[in-house]
């Protein structure tokens, strides 16, 4: 289409839109139709949370190589003089749909490479206050075992946890159901069924596992096949929490776990834990956490019973939102294997003072001293300076 100009020359008339505008019309029409499309009821857009937590320490100890094995019992504890890269935990969490959420936690260390810490799905819409988790999970036993290393106030693992529940904590493939009781306070029951033969299950079928390759490892695995439901690990936990006043909160729990051990007999773990919090003026607060664990195991064909026990009690005083100090006491009393070539001391006691500083909610620096003594009059002194940083959005942890 042409028009006449004042100079008598014909020129093309201006179109209301450029050619590129016409190319975008199909996209605009698609967007309009999509906006008119009703969304399925109950759905919402949820993005995945990704985070990374790095923990490392530097320090020194009077312990030799053998003493380090029984004085530092956690898989991510500082491991000797100099620097220790304790862990890098990578976490992914988010909603799957209106019915499920999912979490995965991976640990990366120079010594062990990439390790799976937890990976599970969780229901969100079951009736009757029920919740079910399925996957690879830390066993819901006591206060410390379900916690990741970065959640704990102190730099290393309590003696009783590393000795009776394992250096990595009890964890395995399985399913867990939780039921919120209809009480006026928070009261919940957890029932778990797991394989019980993971390497971390040192009180159960995992006790016979070895990192070495060869015929010996194959024989161990052959002896630990799960043939029926009686060969699995069953655990039960009852936890309660309530506010005693506006300034005082309490949480206490009872735990029980039972399953076969490598001697074709059963091991029973029982535990009692208590946590109290006192909220003082401003951001000051005091937290007291204690846990007692008792283990009873049939050790051989003669049904000889072995009993072990231990406890941990720690007091942490948050002087402000940035500074805190703490004191932890722990001990274990074990019946050692008489045939062991170089068994650890049967009784160990440890006292650990701590001071910590948090520049922000995403970083913290802690200094901790350990004094460990045994029934054989052996002593170990250790000092650790620990740093930890968080990047990203990490899944929330419970009280």
DSSP code per residue over 179-240: EE-SSSSEEEEEEEEE---STT-TTTGGGG--S--SHHHHHHHHHT---SGGGSEEEEEEEE
CA distance 4 to 320: 82
Higher pLDDT, 170 or 224: 170
Handedness of CA 53, 66, 326, 152 (dihedral sign): positive
- Does the pLDDT of residue 213 top 60, yes or no? no
Q: Where is mean pLDDT largest: 34-43, 126-135, 200-209, 389-398?
A: 126-135
- Does the pLDDT of residue 52 top 90, yes or no? yes
Structure tokens at 96: 């799957």
Mean pLDDT of the chain: 85
Domains belonging to the chain, first-starting first, are: 49-392 (2.40.160.10)
pLDDT of 337:
62
| pLDDT-derived band at 190, boundaries 50, 70, 90 | very high
CA distance 366 to 357: 6
pLDDT above 90 covers a percentage of the chain that reads: 68
- Does the pLDDT of residue 104 top 50, yes or no? yes
- Does the pLDDT of residue 227 top 80, yes or no? no
- Does the pLDDT of residue 287 top 80, yes or no? yes
- Does the pLDDT of residue 105 top 50, yes or no? yes
| pLDDT-derived band at 174, boundaries 50, 70, 90 | very high
Structure tokens at 209: 């596992």
CA distance 388 to 368: 14
Nearest to 275 by CA among 399, 369, 157: 399
pLDDT (average), residues 63-71: 91
Structure tokens at 334: 């074990």
Nearest to 139 by CA among 277, 274, 253, 237: 237
Q: Per mean pLDDT, which range of 15-19, 116-120, 155-159 is the poorest? A: 15-19
Strand partners, 50: 92
Q: Return the residue matching tokens 């999970």.
A: 137
User: Global pTM?
Assistant: 0.83
* 230: Cα within 13 Å, side-chain hemisphere: 3
Q: Per mean pLDDT, which range of 21-30, 120-129, 370-379, 387-396 is the poorest? A: 21-30
| pLDDT-derived band at 338, boundaries 50, 70, 90 | low
Specify whether the CB–CB gap between 310 and 164 falls below 8 A: yes
Alpha helices in the chain (DSSP H): 19-23, 25-36, 65-71, 159-160, 215-223
pLDDT (average), residues 154-167: 95
Distance linking the first and last C-alpha atoms of the chain: 75
pLDDT of 301:
57
Specify whether the CB–CB gap between 367 and 394 falls below 8 A: no
pLDDT of 134:
98
Three-state helix/strand/coil letters over 71-137 = HCCCCCCCCCCEEEEEEEEEEEEEEEECCEEEEEEEEEECCCEEEEEEEEEEECCCCCCEEEEEEEE
pLDDT of 206:
87
Burial group, residue 12, by CB count within 10 angstroms (0-12, 13-18, 19+): exposed
Measured at the CA of 107, the angle between CA 65 and CA 262, to 5 degrees, comes to: 65
CA distance 8 to 107: 81
């Amino acid at each position: 289409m042409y028009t006449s100009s004042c100079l008598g020359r014909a020129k093309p008339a201006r179109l209301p839109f450029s050619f590129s505008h016409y190319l975008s019309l199909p996209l605009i029409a698609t967007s309009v139709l999509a906006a008119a499309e009703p969304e399925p009821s109950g759905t919402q857009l949820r993005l995945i949370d990704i985070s990374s937590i790095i923990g490392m320490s530097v320090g020194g100890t009077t312990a030799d190589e053998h003493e380090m094995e029984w004085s530092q019992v956690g898989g991510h504890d500082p491991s000797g003089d100099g620097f220790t890269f304790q862990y890098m935990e990578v976490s992914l969490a988010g909603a799957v749909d209106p019915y499920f959420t999912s979490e995965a936690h991976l640990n990366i260390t120079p010594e062990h490479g990439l390790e799976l810490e937890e990976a599970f799905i969780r229901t969100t819409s079951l009736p009757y206050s029920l919740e079910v988790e399925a996957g690879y999970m830390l066993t819901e036993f006591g206060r410390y075992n379900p916690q990741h290393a970065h959640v704990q106030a102190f730099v290393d693992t309590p003696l009783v946890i590393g000795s009776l529940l394992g250096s990595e904590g009890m964890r395995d493939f399985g399913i867990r159901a939780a039921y919120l009781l209809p009480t006026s306070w928070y009261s919940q029951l957890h029932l778990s069924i797991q394989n019980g033969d993971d390497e971390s299950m040192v009180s159960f079928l995992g006790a016979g596992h070895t990192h070495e390759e060869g015929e010996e490892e194959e024989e161990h695995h052959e002896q630990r096949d799960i043939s029926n439901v009686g060969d699995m690990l069953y655990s039960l936990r009852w936890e309660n929490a309530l506010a005693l006043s506006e300034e005082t909160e309490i949480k206490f729990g009872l735990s029980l776990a039972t399953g076969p051990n490598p001697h074709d007999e059963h091991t029973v773990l029982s535990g009692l834990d208590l946590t109290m919090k006192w909220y003082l003026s401003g951001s000051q607060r005091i937290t007291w956490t204690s846990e007692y664990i008792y283990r009873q195991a049939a050790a051989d064909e003669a049904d000889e019973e072995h009993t072990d026990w231990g406890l941990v009690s720690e007091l942490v005083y948050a002087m402000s939102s940035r500074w805190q100090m703490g004191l932890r006491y722990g001990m274990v009393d074990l019946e050692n294997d008489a045939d062991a070539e170089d068994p650890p001391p049967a009784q160990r006691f440890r006292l650990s003072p701590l001071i910590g500083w948090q520049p922000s909610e995403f970083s913290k620096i802690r200094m901790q001293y350990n004094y460990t003594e045994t029934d054989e009059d052996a002593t170990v002194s250790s000092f650790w300076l620990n740093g930890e940083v968080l990047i990203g959005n990490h899944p929330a942890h419970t009280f």
